[in-house]
Amino acid sequence: MLVFAGILVATAALAFYAGRSQSPAALGERDRESLDLYAEALDVVRDDYVDQGAIDPEKLTYGAIEGMLDTLGDKGHTRFLTPEEREQNQEGLSGTYVGIGIQLEARGDDVVVTAPIEGSPAEEAGVESGDVVVGVDGESVRGEEISGIVSKVKGTEGTSVELTVSRDGDERAFDLRREEIDSSVVTWARIPGTDVAHVLLSSFSDDAAKELRKAFEEAEAAGARRFVLDLRDNPGGRLDQAVEVAGFFLEPDSIAYVRKDASGGREPVEVEGEPGLTDAPLVVLVNYGSASSSEIVAGALRDNDRATVVGQTTVGTGTVLSEFELDDGSSILLGVAEWLTPDGDFIRETGIEPDVKVTQEEGDEPVSPTDLRKLSREKAFERDAQLRSAFEELPAR
């Protein structure tokens, strides 16, 4: 059965690729053989599987495409999106939707909260990064697809939903009210008693660079002269926003990253540069949840000797995605190129190595700017060793 499933996935992959790029008449012999084999396998399933009611053509097709993409080894980046998942992905990049304010990610068989959005019902109720979603409205969602869980969590503004999560082996239930989440991806606060602003960028959505520039301007107007740019648990987003953000801190024509295409060719991608922020002392915070565009920015600032990078080794995404919409509204996010740091270091699978490595010990937790407004400097540093180290690495000004 496993061998059959492998054949089904592999041949579906070839059939899918060939079908998008060539007409059937133009297929090579091997591709035609693969199409025939897939059709033969599909006939076997359709005619002879014992539970005929379980046969869903859409699920068979989607499963085959997902299996194909899994074989490419770009796990967590190159991926297939159903029409519903594609809509959710676009909502996440736009920054506005109705919900409870959590970002979810599939990790193995679990669906995990990557980050609660600051000021959202989930964040205020105590939902935390790393919580595993196990129930919605009293019903188990263990083993369900992330798209199905998101659909159950979403709903009409003003209604409530009960979210059950597993944390450190214990289950906790949160009764949450759905609201319109117009989530600012940037928050900031002064570290008490200092001229240092802690600026948190939670994702690279459509207006991330614009929001970040505004936050830095506000912080400077409030007396901040040194900065900690916090990219921890930032899953990435739009590539153009990453280049623009890097350009805020680099001299014009500095290299943001190097693009390596399928043929092996390498093309340096430069920033335009942003007057006013090129000299401010800066430290970048990253962790094992920093991915994609976060890694581009961290690598660009590190390799251009613009900032010290503090924290933990990042995810290691390292591929440039292009979206290919399919006929039914689903899409493939496909890694069409690989990015390297300005010094030519590969990011894929290795991640960005920080200049100063600081792990989160048991009991430590990232302090957000919202938290910082309620805590003394001593309490904040006691809770967040990485933020403390970032502060200590900042040069005087």
pLDDT digit string, tens, across residues 60-104: 999 889 988 998 887 767 889 888 888 777 766 655 677 898 878
Name, in order, each residue with C-beta under 8 angstroms of 373's C-beta and a sequence gap of 6 or more: 189
- Cβ proximity of 171 and 134 under 8 Å: yes
Choice between 155 and 212, residue whose per-residue pLDDT is larger: 212
Sorted by where each starts, the structural domains of the chain and their CATH numbers stand as 2-71 (no CATH), 96-182 (2.30.42.10), 186-393 (3.90.226.10)
What are the pLDDT digits (tens) for 363-373?
788 898 988 99
Is-contact 63 16, C-beta < 8 A? no
The DSSP code for 312 is S
Return mean pLDDT, the chain: 86
Identify residue 218 by its one-letter amino acid code. E
pLDDT band at residue 337 under the 50/70/90 scheme: confident
Check: pTM over 0.95? Answer yes or no: no
Separation CA 64–CA 17 (nearest Å): 12
Mean pLDDT, residues 127-156: 88
Which pLDDT value is given to residue 11? 36
- For the sheet containing 356-357, what is the strand order? 186-190, 196-201, 226-230, 282-286, 308-311, 356-357
DSSP count for the chain of H helices, then E strands:
12, 19
CA distances from 348 to 76, 77, 261, 265, 284 (A): 11, 10, 14, 17, 20
Q: Looking at beta carbons, which pairs linking 57-66 to residues 24 or more positions away fall under 8 Å?
A: 61/12, 62/330, 63/9, 64/8, 64/9, 64/12, 64/13, 64/16, 64/38, 65/12, 65/13, 65/16, 65/332
